[in-house]
Amino acid sequence: MAKKRDSPYEPGRRSGNWLKIKKLMSCDCVIFGYTKGGGSKGETFGALILGLYDKGKPVYVGKVGTGFSQTDIDSLMKAFKGLETKEKTLQGGNIPEEIT
């Protein structure tokens, strides 16, 4: 919370005197694979599997499946075609089983 030093508390009112500031965290991740899409996404991915490198070893961070335009999806799927492998790209716990 940030406020002007001399501003009073104003219950039930919004003003520019008090501001709620949220801490944002971000990180640049590596795409280690994807889950198969379902329904209308059957020919594409459902979510991208993300990770980071820690001391040279890949570590699972999470997955993301929203916020992609159809152009983004098409471009990513085209790039993935030449990178497919049968080997697991990540090891460890909490990794979705259906990674492609």
- We report the CATH number of the domain holding residue 70 as 2.40.50.140
Model confidence at 14, pLDDT cuts 50, 70, 90, reads: confident
Kindly report, residue by residue over 30-56, the tens digit of the pLDDT. 999 888 887 777 788 989 999 999 898
Does 18 map to a domain? Answer: no
Does 52 map to a domain? Answer: yes
8-state DSSP, 42: T
Non-local (6+) Cβ contacts of 25 within 8 A are none
The verdict on pTM exceeding 0.75 is no
More confident residue, 6 or 91: 6
Does 64 map to a domain? Answer: yes
Q: Using alpha carbons only, give the angle 31, 94, 72 rounded to the nearest 5 degrees.
A: 25
As for how many domains the chain has, the answer is 1
Does 51 map to a domain? Answer: yes
Domain hosting residue 37, numbered range: 27-81
Alpha-helical regions (H) of the chain: 70-81
Dihedral (CA of 30, 65, 93, 36) sign: negative
